[in-house]
Structure 1
Amino acid sequence: MTAEPGASEVQALWWLHDGRWYQEVASRFGHGTANEINAAALRVVAVRVGKTVARLMGKAADAFDHGDLVRALDLCRRRMWPDRYLRVEYAEGDDPDEVTLQLTRNYALHMVRLAGSLEHYRCPCDEVRAGWLEGLGFAVKENRTEGCLRDGDPACVQVSRLCPNSIQRNTDGARPV
């Protein structure tokens, strides 16, 4: 055994910290305040993650095609939550300015349920996606959630509509997946 913890142990300890922090704020100031602060803090982190991913991809938002956007969002998600914490698929719709994420596993909701706070917890998903997109350099027209695991739906369906023509079209007319 070494004194230096591995990345997984550090991650687990931060998840424990995050969960206890939320529970302490909720018990002292109410779930509404805990949800509000949680969403605001996660948005700040998400903007930073989006900026990091944009820098790593080496592209400005106006050079992204739909496939680039999906890859960027997936990189953002992986930087914040590894695959073991979230199961996500990206759906392609008819609107080229829209991207849809479908979550079928969310570790945070599992932990909130175990803590007995699921009834009062409000998912910060829209704020997280807005932060990623802001950090990537996109102007967002709308973020909405059309289904939520917290509410018993089979998946969280999260839709982001970007300002018109903010995603480049392929020159051959095909849309990347």
Structure 2
Amino acid sequence: MAETRVHDRTAAGPRADDVFQFWWLHDARWYQGVLKRFGQDAANEINAEAVKFVARRVAAWHVRSNPVTRDGLTPDELAGHVAAALRLMGTGTMSEVTQQVLDEDSFETVVSKSFALRMLRAAGTLDGYDCPCLELRAGWFEGLRVDVEDSCVECQRTGGEVCRFRAELRRAPESL
């Protein structure tokens, strides 16, 4: 009898894409379970709390190796730290995100492809879902220990072409 060989992709270790997608699959099943047992409001509330917690921890972890200079921090530098935190939570194939500096105090983040929204749409639960994007970003800013006014300008879930966020650095008033 001839030996059958199966190509084992995991022999060299899992790819980051696979690990992230399995973890996000866990997150989706968890959300669906809370939704089914306790309702949409509870699922959205607990999801937002969990996302903020994880984002804060991810950003704080990032800061240990990549210190954030708060005095004189530019929007470009802050956008770079946000991009790094995002990379720690997923891969470039899961979402398409760009950052653009708007002026000396603000930058914009544009999400043109979202893994989370694609999965929610496939599960049939997109309609009642409250995006925790601002909580996610608030967690990043807390973990980076920066004071930011952040807002959602446009959202794909509610009919926007992209998800667009505007972050403005709050600066301490200069002493006279």
**TM-score where L is the length of structure 2:** 0.85
SS at match of 1:55: helix
- 8 Å CA contact 2:74–2:105 kept in 1: the answer is no
Q: Report what 1:144 is aligned to.
A: 151
2:117 matches 1:109: yes
SS at match of 1:62: coil
Task: Name the structure 2 match of 1:123.
Answer: 131
**Aligned twin of 1:61:** 70
Counting matched residue pairs gives 164
- Residue pair 1:61, 1:136 contacting (<8 A) in 2 also: no
CA deviation map 1:17-43 (0-9, x unaligned): 111110110111111111111111010
Alpha-carbon distance in structure 2 between the residues aligned to 1:16 and 1:137? 30
Change (3 A) 1:126 1:35: same
2-side partners of 1:61 and 1:91: how far apart?
20
For 1:47, the equivalent position in structure 2 comes to 56
Please tell me whether the aligned partners of residues 97 and 165 of structure 1 are also in contact (alpha carbons under 8 angstroms).
Answer: no
Residue 14 (str. 1) matches residue 23 (str. 2) = yes
Residue equivalent to 2:3:
none
- Is 2:105 the counterpart of 1:97? yes
User: Are residue 30 (structure 1) and residue 39 (structure 2) matched?
Assistant: yes
2:147–2:171 CA contact under 8 A, matched in 1: no
C-alpha distance in 1, partners of 2:142/2:62? 12
Large movers: runs of 4+ above 4 Å: 2-5
Distance across 1 between alignment mates of 2:37 and 2:129: 15
SS of corresponding position for 1:118: coil
Tell me what 2:141 maps to. Answer: 133
The structure having more radius of gyration, on CA atoms, is 2
Q: Percent identity?
A: 38
* Structure 2: segments with no counterpart, 5+ residues: 1-7
The answer to whether residue 89 in structure 2 is matched with residue 80 in structure 1 is yes
* 1:143–1:24 CA distance, 2 compared to 1 (3 A): same
Deviations 1:38-94 (A, max 9, x none): 111010111111112222213333353222111101101111121111111112223
